[in-house]
A = this chain, B = another copy of it.
Amino acid sequence: MPEGLLIVISAPSGGGKGTILKELFAQDANLRLSVSATTRQPRPGEENGKQYYFISHEEFQDLIKTGKMLEYTEYCGNFYGTPKAPVEEWTQKGFDVVLEIEVDGGAQIKKLMPDCVSVFILPPSMKVLEKRLRNRGTEDEPTILRRLETARMEIPCAKDYDYIVFNDKLEDAVADLQAILKAEKMKYSRNTDVTERVLSDA
């Protein structure tokens, strides 16, 4: 059985990544979502292994030192990262594993795991992004402006990713992601035993 893919997905602020992934997971039973580890305290209702693996600072540092973190970052005094073990366990079982990470994490993961498939989800234009943020009606003007400014800074990070998917129509974006996964699985580099298999079955 071939190994599953490691899929890194990022999107700028307000990029609609959540909706696309929800639909992708609904259509593809072979996908697993990677759970991050964090040193912050669980909030009410959060379960260990569900939203996060909640671990101590010492455990987190130990995972970094022993090369068992795929990527990590510090935010407000707490660490957040992707432990290697569950990802490897799933891909070895043939599942495709999705890592949802910050826009600046793509290059970091690509260096560690050159075989990963990285996808950056872009809004069709800043105009559309702004319209979407306003249509939500959940954020005040300063928040909308801040989110647009953040997106503006994050979008150039797309250059470190393998693929660009536009978040225009939801069903198109999901179909785009599916085509990427399908094509990646056909790469010779992921199927180096293929000629031997064909030749031996005579």
What residues of chain A have their CB less than 8 Å away from a CB belonging to chain B?
Answer: 120, 122-127, 130, 152, 155-156, 158-159, 161-165, 176, 178-180, 182-184, 186-188, 191-192, 194-195, 197-199, 201-202
Contact = CB atoms under 8 A, between A and B. Distances in A.
Contacts of A198: 122-126, 155
Contacts of A187: 162-164
A24 to B, nearest CB: 15
A201 B126 contact: yes
The listed residue with most B CB atoms (<10 A of its CB), out of A120, A180, A183, A195, is A183
A122 B124 CA distance: 38
A174 to B, nearest CB: 13
A125 B165 CA distance: 35
A199 B165 contact: no
Contacts of A156: 195, 199
Contact of A188 (B162, B182, B195): B162
B126 A199 contact: yes
Given A152-B199, A198-B155, A186 B191 contact: no
B199 A155 contact: yes
Contact of A127 (B125, B178, B202): B202
Nearest to A148: B202
A191 B199 CA distance: 38
Contacts of A155: 195, 198-199
A165 B198 CA distance: 12
B176 A163 contact: no
Contact of A195 (B122, B183, B202): B122
A124 B200 CA distance: 11
